[in-house]
C-alpha cells in the first residue's frame, strides 16, 4: 500500500478525458487472456458495470504469478492510462506494477459465463461481484437516495418509526415476537399463561409491520412526514414478491385527502423511475438486455402517461364486462385477486392503475369512511408484472366514526388510546400510503424475484448469511 498512489475508481478511469502518466486502480479480476508479450486483465471494482482492461507486460517481475491470476482474485495495479489500441474500450491501463492482493482458485464459484439467479442466490455473499447483481445494488442505492431527495425537496420530515412495537393489532399480517424470555422455561402466571410482564419491555412486543400509526402522530404535528425503514411480516408467504424483511416508504400528510394522496403516489413512482433512467442508464441497459427486453420502453411509457384511476366499483364492472373467465369469479364486495389486478393493469389499461374507494368490509379500520357509508378511501397502485406496489388511504379523522370502525373490526378502542388522542385534540384530515421499496426496484430493474433485489433476503425457512 505504501508504494501505491491514491487509487482511482474504474469508473473514473474509464471516463477519463485524457491519458494519465500514472494511475492506480484496485479491484477484482473478472477474466484474464494471454497475448504474446503480455496478459489482458479485466478488473472490476463495482464502481460501474464495465471492467477496466489492464495490460500486464511479460516484463513484470511477477509475470508468472500474474499469468496464474484467475477470476475472483483481487489486485492493485499501477501504470499508464492510455487510449486503447483495441476495440471495445476507450481507455486501458498499461501496468508498471500488478500486485496480487488476494489470490483466487479453481473453487471460486463465479465464472465469466452467465449464471442463473437461482444459483447466485445460494452464494449471496459473492453475487454482488456479478454484473447483474452489481447493477441491481447500485440501482438500489441510487433509488434509496432518490427517495430522500424526493421528500426532502418537498418539505417532508424524515421520521424514524420504531422497529420494536408493542402493538399487535396493526392489522397488516403476522408479527415476529421480540422477547428475552427463555423459550424453554418462560415465567408463568397463576393461570398458566406466559407472564409477559416479566419480559424485557414488561409487555409483549413485536417487530413492526408498519410505521403508519406512528407516522400519523408525527404528521399531526409536522404536517408532512415520511418513514423509510425495514418492515417485518411473519407470514408464511412463498412467492416471488414477498419477503419476511423488506423496506417500506410511508409518507403521511396532514390536511390531505384521497386525491392528494393519489397524486403524490403517482408523482413519487414516476420520480423514482425518472431517477433510474437518468442516473443508472448503463445498469438499466444491462437489465433491458438480459432481464427484460421491454423494460426501457415500458419505463418510458409509464413516465409519459398519467396513471389510470378507477374506483373499485368501476374496476369490478370492467372485469365483469370483459367477458374473461377468471379462476376466481369477480364480485362486488370481495378482494380483487392477483389475476384480476394483473388483467386490469396488463390487459385493460397496459399501464399503472390506481384503484380507489373499496368496500369498507375488506379494508382495515383506520381508512376513512366515505359518505356513501359503503366504501372507504383506500387506494392501491397496481403495476404490470408485479401487482400492488402502493397501498394507502385517507385516514379516519372523526373520533366517533373511528371508534365505530374499530368495534366493527372487533378491536377494542381502549387498546388505541394514543391513536385516538390524535382525533381528540386538533384532528385534521390526513392521508398516506406505503410503497414497497423492493417491489419498486423489481419494477425498475425488471427483476422478477424479490429475493434478487435485497442484499441478503429473509424468507420463510431462509436466513442464511
Partner RNA sequence: UGCCCGGUAGCUCAGUGGCAGAGCAGGUGACUGUUAAUCACUUGGUCGUAGGUUCGAUCCCUACCCGGGCAGCCA
- Contacts (CB under 7 A) with RNA, residues 389-408: 389-391
Question: Which of 196, 287 has the CB closer to RNA?
Answer: 287
| Stretch in the footprint of RNA (CB under 7 A) among 118-126, 139-147, 195-203, 395-403 | 118-126
CB of 400 to RNA, least distance (A): 25
Among residues 80, 121, 154, 274, the one that binds RNA under rule CB under 7 A: 121
Are 80 and 5 contacting, i.e. CB atoms less than 8 angstroms apart?
no
Give the DSSP per-residue string, 28-89. EEEEEEE-SSEEEEEEE-SSSSSPEEEEEETTSTTHHHHTT--TT-EEEEEEEEEE-SSSS-
Q: Spell out the residues 6+ positions from residue 381 whose beta carbon is closer than 8 angstroms to its own.
A: 265, 266, 269, 307, 352, 353, 354, 388, 389, 390, 391
Site for RNA contains 243 (CB under 7 A): yes
Site mask, RNA, residues 158-187, x = CB under 7 A?
A: --------------xx--------------
Among residues 3, 85, 180, 184, the one that binds RNA under rule CB under 7 A: 85
- Cα(332)–Cα(316) distance, rounded to whole angstroms? 6
Site for RNA contains 236 (CB under 7 A): yes
Among residues 154, 277, 342, 458, the one that binds RNA under rule CB under 7 A: 342
The enclosing H or E element of 144 equals helix 131-153
C-alpha cell at 298: 415500458
Q: Which SS3 state, helix, strand or coil, does residue 151 take?
A: helix
Question: Which of 42, 275 has the CB closer to RNA?
Answer: 42
Among residues 52, 75, 92, 307, the one that binds RNA under rule CB under 7 A: 92
Residues facing 232 on adjacent strands? 245
Q: Nearest 10 degrees: CA dihedral of 149, 154, 158, 159?
A: -150
Site for RNA contains 20 (CB under 7 A): no
| Stretch in the footprint of RNA (CB under 7 A) among 113-121, 124-132, 182-190, 353-361 | 113-121
CB of 333 to RNA, least distance (A): 13
CB of 82 to RNA, least distance (A): 8
Question: Which of 235, 421 has the CB closer to RNA?
Answer: 235
Question: Which of 199, 249 has the CB closer to RNA?
Answer: 249
Are 95 and 54 contacting, i.e. CB atoms less than 8 angstroms apart?
yes
Question: Which of 31, 179 has the CB closer to RNA?
Answer: 31
- Cα(31)–Cα(40) distance, rounded to whole angstroms? 8
Question: Which of 181, 349 has the CB closer to RNA?
Answer: 349
The string over 385-423, giving b where at least 16 C-beta atoms fall within 10 Å of a residue's C-beta and e elsewhere, is bbbbbbbbbbbbbebeebbebbeeeebebeebeebbebb
| Stretch in the footprint of RNA (CB under 7 A) among 26-34, 190-198, 352-360, 409-417 | 26-34
The enclosing H or E element of 142 equals helix 131-153
Question: Which of 199, 266 has the CB closer to RNA?
Answer: 266
Q: How many CB atoms neighbour CB 371 within 10 A?
A: 6
Site for RNA contains 388 (CB under 7 A): yes
- Cα(105)–Cα(70) distance, rounded to whole angstroms? 7
Among residues 62, 111, 278, 297, the one that binds RNA under rule CB under 7 A: 111
Residues 204 to 223: which contact RNA by CB under 7 A?
A: 210
Return phi, psi of residue 38, to 5°.
-165, 180
- Cα(60)–Cα(79) distance, rounded to whole angstroms? 12
Site for RNA contains 246 (CB under 7 A): yes
Question: Which of 31, 308 has the CB closer to RNA?
Answer: 31
Residues 261 to 320: which contact RNA by CB under 7 A?
A: none
Among residues 115, 177, 374, 409, the one that binds RNA under rule CB under 7 A: 115
Among residues 438, 444, 445, 453, the one that binds RNA under rule CB under 7 A: 438
Apex 195 CA angle, 191 and 196, nearest 5: 145
CB of 198 to RNA, least distance (A): 30
Site for RNA contains 54 (CB under 7 A): no
Residues 127 to 146: which contact RNA by CB under 7 A?
A: none
- Cα(349)–Cα(366) distance, rounded to whole angstroms? 30
Amino acid at each position: 500500500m505504501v508504494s501505491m498512489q491514491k487509487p482511482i475508481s474504474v469508473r473514473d478511469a474509464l471516463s477519463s478525458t485524457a491519458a494519465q502518466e500514472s494511475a492506480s486502480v484496485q479491484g477484482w479480476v473478472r477474466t484474464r487472456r494471454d497475448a504474446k508479450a503480455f496478459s489482458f486483465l479485466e478488473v472490476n471494482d463495482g464502481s460501474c458495470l464495465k471492467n477496466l482492461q489492464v495490460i500486464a507486460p511479460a516484463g513484470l517481475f511477477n509475470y508468472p504469478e500474474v499469468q496464474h491470476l484467475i477470476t475472483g482474485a483481487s489486485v492493485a495495479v499501477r501504470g499508464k492510462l492510455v487510449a486503447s489500441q483495441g476495440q471495445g474500450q476507450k481507455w486501458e491501463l498499461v501496468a508498471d506494477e500488478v500486485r496480487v492482493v488476494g489470490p483466487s482458485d479453481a473453487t471460486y464459484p463465479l465464472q465469466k459465463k452467465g449464471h442463473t439467479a437461482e444459483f447466485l442466490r445460494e452464494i449471496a455473499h459473492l453475487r454482488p461481484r456479478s454484473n447483474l447483481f452489481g447493477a441491481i445494488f447500485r440501482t438500489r442505492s441510487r433509488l434509496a437516495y432518490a427517495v430522500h431527495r424526493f421528500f426532502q425537496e418537498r418539505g417532508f420530515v424524515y421520521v424514524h418509526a420504531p422497529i420494536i412495537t408493542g402493538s399487535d393489532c396493526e392489522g397488516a399480517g403476522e408479527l415476529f415476537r421480540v422477547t428475552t424470555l427463555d423459550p424453554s422455561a418462560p415465567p408463568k402466571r397463576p393461570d398458566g399463561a406466559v407472564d409477559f410482564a416479566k419480559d424485557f419491555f414488561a409487555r409483549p412486543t413485536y417487530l413492526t409491520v408498519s410505521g403508519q400509526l406512528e407516522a400519523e402522530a408525527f404528521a399531526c404535528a409536522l404536517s408532512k412526514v415520511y418513514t423509510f425503514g425495514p418492515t417485518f411480516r411473519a407470514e408464511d408467504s412463498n412467492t416471488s414478491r414477498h419477503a419476511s424483511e423488506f423496506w417500506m416508504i410511508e409518507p403521511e400528510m396532514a390536511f390531505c385527502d384521497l386525491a392528494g394522496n393519489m397524486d403524490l403516489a403517482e408523482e413519487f413512482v414516476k420520480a423514482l423511475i425518472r431517477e433510474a433512467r437518468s442516473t443508472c442508464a448503463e445498469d438499466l441497459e444491462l437489465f433491458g438486455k438480459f432481464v427484460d427486453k421491454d423494460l426501457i420502453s415500458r419505463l418510458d411509457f409509464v413516465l409519459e402517461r398519467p396513471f389510470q384511476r378507477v374506483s373499485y366499483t368501476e374496476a369490478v364492472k370492467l372485469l365483469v364486462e370483459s367477458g374473461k373467465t377468471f379462476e376466481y369469479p369477480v364480485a362486488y364486495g370481495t378482494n380483487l385477486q392477483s389475476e384480476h389486478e394483473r388483467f386490469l393493469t396488463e390487459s385493460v389499461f397496459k399501464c399503472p392503475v390506481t384503484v380507489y374507494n373499496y368496500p369498507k368490509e375488506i379494508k382495515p379500520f383506520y381508512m376513512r369512511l366515505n359518505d356513501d357509508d359503503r366504501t372507504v378511501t383506500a387506494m392501491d397502485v397496481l403495476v404490470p408484472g408485479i401487482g400492488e406496489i402502493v397501498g394507502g388511504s385517507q385516514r379516519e379523522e372523526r373520533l366517533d366514526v373511528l371508534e365505530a370502525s374499530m368495534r366493527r373490526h372487533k378491536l377494542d378502542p381502549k387498546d388505541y388510546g394514543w391513536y385516538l388522542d390524535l382525533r381528540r385534540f386538533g384532528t385534521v384530515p390526513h392521508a398516506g400510503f406505503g410503497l414497497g421499496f423492493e417491489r419498486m426496484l423489481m419494477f425498475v430493474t425488471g427483476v422478477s424475484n424479490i429475493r434478487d433485489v435485497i442484499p441478503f433476503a429473509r424468507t420463510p425457512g431462509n436466513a442464511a448469511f
